[in-house]
Each structure stands twice: as structure tokens, then as C-alpha cells.
Amino acid sequence: MIPYGRQDVNEEDIQSVVEVLRSDWLTQGPAVERFEQDVAHYCGAKYSVAVSSATAALHIACLAAGLKPGGTLWTSPNTFVASANCGLYCGANPDFVDIDPRTYNLSADTLEEKLASAEKQGGLPQIVIPVHFAGQSCEMERIAALGKRYGFTVIEDASHAIGGRYRDTRVGSCAFSAMTVFSFHPVKIITTGEGGMVLTNRQDLYEKLVRLRSHGITRDPRFMEGEPDGPWYYQQIELGFNYRITDIQAGLGSSQMRRLDEFVARRHSLAERYDTLLREQALTLPWQHPDAYSAFHLYVIRLHLDAIGKTHRQVFEGLRQEGIGVNLHYIPVHTQPYYRRLGFKPGDFPQAEQYYREAISLPLYPSLSDSEQDRVVQALKRVLS
């Protein structure tokens, strides 16, 4: 079976982890700091806080932004559940903004309309989380401008998008947001096994994120109530978590960062090959916004079902039977049973639902060889014919 995605770990990556294992630190220590600096420097952000997953990163980013019980968070329905669950962790109410039918990202037009009507009805969000679907940046300049006008905080869920660019900025620079979140799960662009990061240019957010990562504890006298009792002293000044990542994982992360550009370049050349090989098929191929250079986490095709004469499910199962590990990103979050119990229902976000009925993610990862890719294309042509 050719999977839809997989990590690429080479001998250098392994050596980098072994070095950490031979060192004095295993939990959060100097390797985490180095990894944080590597990513912040690459992206052009001032601060970065590495944590145990992107899910943890989204949670503390929402808390740092001041999301409170009863607040509101908007995100895309075409995402992994974690992009919306972070609002629920804070006791806030998630809601969704339907997608752009070309990029499958949260639509800036729809966001603008929804904000205008929310303003009249008194339901403006505190936080909006644009998700850079498949690695392609959302229209950040427009979203940032709406954030200023309506007073919400923008947190980018860039779990798919490290190594991507928006205009002349790297995703993660936070030029158009308060914070950006990355995931280092093995199917993503680079990996630490499990892991995530929050980037920001704001010192106040950075200091808060660092505390929330580790129990809400500080050792900095500037933040303490009263004077420290002595050199051993720390204070818990708010409720935080244990969301730390290990030095072992960070060793892998720093090594993977050195390979990031090569990974994204290979993803692009495979995507271009798919574009060429699939041009004549009854499919919509990924559309690239001129402002975005995608990290190409996913290569998603949409089936022209009328022309194909097979159901979406038949094509999907046909590919699996051919040994092609296709996948589907994403089941619209608002249609999940848990979200239906919150009051959402099918029909609420028709673009995301229409997309879901036609989309398939083809295998795409740096070590996918041209001949394996040819096998995918041949299998797809057979199934479609």
C-alpha cells in the first residue's frame, strides 16, 4: 500500500536524536531552545514556544489571546477537529466560516459577510483561526484587516504550512496574525513524532505561552506577587498545563528543519507531475492562489461525478483496492456527532459539504518516487475509466 503521507527520517535525523540521548537533558532543555530558535529564525518571527502537539499549541494560543467561557471562536469547517476544539477547551463557542470553492480555505468574502451580520446581532468573535489548508496560505492581508476592523485576534492554524509563503513573507512570520501554530505530527511537513509550536512577535503573548506550557508557573520575579522567598522559589500565578515537548523530539525537529526546503521542493515537483499526468481526467486539480507558495501537505483532487459515472465512494474504494492509500481531508467538522449536539447540522456550510462529497487526497510525501507516483496515476485512470 502506498500511503497518502509519511515521514522522511534519514541517518542525520537519527544521529541528531542519539546525540540528545547521550546528553544531560531529555525533557525540555537546550535542544528545545535550539529548535525554537531554528523555526523562529526560518519564519522570521520574534518568539516561538514548542509544545507537545499542535492541539496543545492551539489551546494555549487561545488562552493567551484571552478567550474566555462564553466567548466565540470562528474557524474553517474544512479542517481537523482540533482547530475548533481549542475553543471548546476554553469554554467558548465555536462557529464556522464556509470555504472558498477554489482554495478550500476559509473564504475571506464569506468571513466579511458573516462579520457584518454578526455585528448587527451582537455576536462578533473574539478569535478567528484561518487554517492554511493543504499548505496554501489563506488571504491573510484581508483577514488581518477584518481583525483590526472588528476587533478579533487572528491565530493561524498552519499545521499544514511550514515552509510555505504568503506574498513576501514566510508562513509563521506572524506579519498578519497575533500567533501562528505548526504541527510536527509524522504526516505533516516536518516531524518530531508528536509536537507543535506557537510563533508570535508579541512579548506579552510569548511570556504567557511559556507559563501556560508549564503549569502556569513562573521563576521570573517580575511576574510574582511579593518578593521571592529565595533562589529555589517559583510561583504558580495562573492555571497552566504540562504541554512540554522533550529534548529528544526537539533534536529530531532541528535536524528536520535543515531538510525543510528540500521537502517542500520535492512536494512541489510531485504536485507538478500530478498536474501534468492528470490534466485530461474528469477532475479538478489543486488551484494555487497567486499570493501563496504552498507547502503542499496534501494533493487533493475533486471528482467530476457527473462525467465519471461512479460514486465518490466507488472511486475511493477502487483506489484502496489498487493499493493506493488515499484519504479524505476533511469531514466537515460541524457534521461530527459532537458538533451536531452543539446545534450544527448538515446544510450549514454548503461549500465545505459539497467539497467533501467529491474530494480525495492522493499520496504525496518527499520520498514518494516517480515510479510509485506513476502507479498512483495508472490506478486512478483505471478506476475512473
Task: Give me the residues that bind ligand PLP (CB under 6 A), please.
Answer: 53-55, 79-80, 82-83, 131, 157, 159-160, 183, 185, 196
Report the length, in residues, of the chain: 385
CB of 20 to ligand PLP, least distance (A): 20
* φ, ψ at 299 (rounded to 5°): -115, 105
> How large is the angle between the packed helices 260-277 and 370-384, nearest 10 degrees?
30
CB of 256 to ligand PLP, least distance (A): 14
CB of 281 to ligand PLP, least distance (A): 27
CB of 192 to ligand PLP, least distance (A): 9
CB of 171 to ligand PLP, least distance (A): 13
Question: Between 100 and 218, whose beta carbon lies closer to ligand PLP?
Answer: 100
Q: What is the dihedral of CA 330, 335, 339, 340, to 10 degrees?
A: -170
The CB-based long-range contact list for 315-320 (8 Å cut-off, 24+ gap) reads: 315/360, 315/383, 315/384, 316/360, 318/382, 318/383, 319/360, 319/379, 319/380, 319/383
CB of 164 to ligand PLP, least distance (A): 13
Question: Between 160 and 213, whose beta carbon lies closer to ligand PLP?
Answer: 160
Question: Between 81 and 224, whose beta carbon lies closer to ligand PLP?
Answer: 81
| Neighbour count for residue 81 (Cβ, 10 Å) | 16
CA angle 4/5/10 to nearest 5° reads 145
Q: Three cell numbers at 188?
A: 505533516
Q: Three cell numbers at 91?
A: 469554554
CB of 98 to ligand PLP, least distance (A): 17
CB of 116 to ligand PLP, least distance (A): 27
Question: Between 130 and 281, whose beta carbon lies closer to ligand PLP?
Answer: 130
* Start-to-end C-alpha separation, the chain: 21
Location of C-alpha cell 492522493:
362
Q: Cα–chain-centroid distance for residue 129?
A: 10
Q: Which amino acid is at 248?
A: I
Helices (H), ranges, the chain: 11-21, 30-43, 54-64, 82-89, 108-121, 140-150, 203-213, 247-257, 260-277, 305-308, 312-321, 337-341, 350-356, 370-384
